[in-house]
Each structure stands twice: as C-alpha cells, then as structure tokens.
Homo-oligomer: A and B are copies of this chain.
C-alpha cells in the first residue's frame, strides 16, 4: 500500500505487455519457420488453385448454402408455426423433428439421407435437390427454434394493443407480430446462415463430381495432390469471405435491434 493505486495499475500494465513479449518470443523460437513457410504458404500451389477455387468451389459453396437456407427457412417457418399450434399432434411432430435434428451431427444426417431417402421413397433426387434437402433439413431445426422464439419475443402488449383496437388474432399476427418478429430474428438467422455455410463442408459425403466440388472438397482434393497446408488455408480464407461479413452483419443487426428496443422500454 506504499504506492498509490494509480502507480500499481501502471506496473500491472507493464507486466501484461511483458508476458505478451515472452510468449511471442517463445513461439517464434519453438516453431520451425522455414518449414512452416514451405508448408503453409506455397505460392505455386496457391496459384494453381485459382481461378477454380473461386469460380467453382466458392460459387458452389454459396449455391448449396443458399439452397439449403431457402428450403430450411420455409420448413423452419412451418415447424415454428406447428410448434405454436393449438393442435397437439402438430406440436409433437415439430418437437420430435427439431430435437432430433438439433441433437445429431450433420454428418450423420447426411449419411442417413444418402442411404435412407432413396431406399425409403424408391426415388433418386437430382444432386442439387439432395443437397438442398440435407442442408435445409438440418438448418430447418435451428431456424424453427429461432422463428418460434422470435414470435414469442414480441412483447405481449403489442398483441393486446392490436386486439384492443379490434384486430382478430390472425390479423394481429400478420400485421403486428410477424413484422416485429422478423426484426428480432434477423441476427440469429444470419448466424444460422453462417452455420449452414460451414455445414456445407460435409456434403462431400453425398458424392460430388468435379464441377460440384465445394470449398472443403476442393481443398482436400488439392491437398491430396500436394502435401502442403496451402490448399486448406486458401479454402479457409474463402470461407471467411462469406462468414466474416455475415458475422459483422449479424452483430450490427443485433446492436441496432437492442438499442431500438431499449429506447422503447425506457
């Protein structure tokens, strides 16, 4: 207690920078940098991946994700309304679906779809349809919960105000609740779009031809020809091209939403 709090705070700050320095030096010494450079940033391999990694792989990742998201959103909305329904069997079906698909790894679901759908229904879907069913089926479970929560998060007072003005239950739902729920669910929905983008890395299990490769498959394929980490790194960066902006969008929407709602309740 001989030194004032302000001085102590200053010393703590120096200590923090010191630790950082030590760690940086340690990592620098321990790692084999020449080897890392060769292994991670092989310029020739990187060059050989362009432009296909963009024109084929990234494009396909986006297409698959978009298809899955569209189908998942539609199915998710249906499931959400089923879960809020007054008809008990609807609620049960929705609950079983949601719980199952949220509790089981996507890879297992994809394998199940790969084996199960053709056997059960004796039909073969076109590849894009299968991708859409697989990704959308998994995404729907998440989106259903998001949509349901969004609808329930609209303050009860909003419905009460609408009904006290003479609106029917369904009119209030359409005019007042859904538009407000949509604003609430936009940020989590964006997050689910990110999850879906990442899950699209698993559809290699459905069997793909070269023009159908998405980023992960493309990266692995290049990797098997040239054991350097470069293809994986480039594939990873391509994912970030999609997911980083979506992440920022989601947080921006969330911030805007919260501040908006805070003002209302203040």
Contact = CB atoms under 8 A, between A and B. Distances in A.
Given A121-B30, A201-B108, A220-B111, A116 B40 contact: yes
Contact of A115 (B17, B106, B227, B239): B227
The number of chain A residues touching the other chain, given as a range, is: 35 or more
Given A90-B16, A115-B229, A227-B115, A107 B202 contact: yes
A87 interface: yes
**Chain copies in complex:** 2
B108 A236 contact: yes
A59 interface: no
Interface in A226-241: 227, 229, 232-233, 235-236, 239-240
A87 B19 CA distance: 11
Interface of A: 5, 13, 16-17, 20, 30-32, 35-36, 39-40, 85-87, 89-90, 99-100, 102-109, 111-112, 115-116, 119-122, 168, 194, 197-202, 215-216, 219-220, 223, 227, 229, 232-233, 235-236, 239-240, 242-244, 247
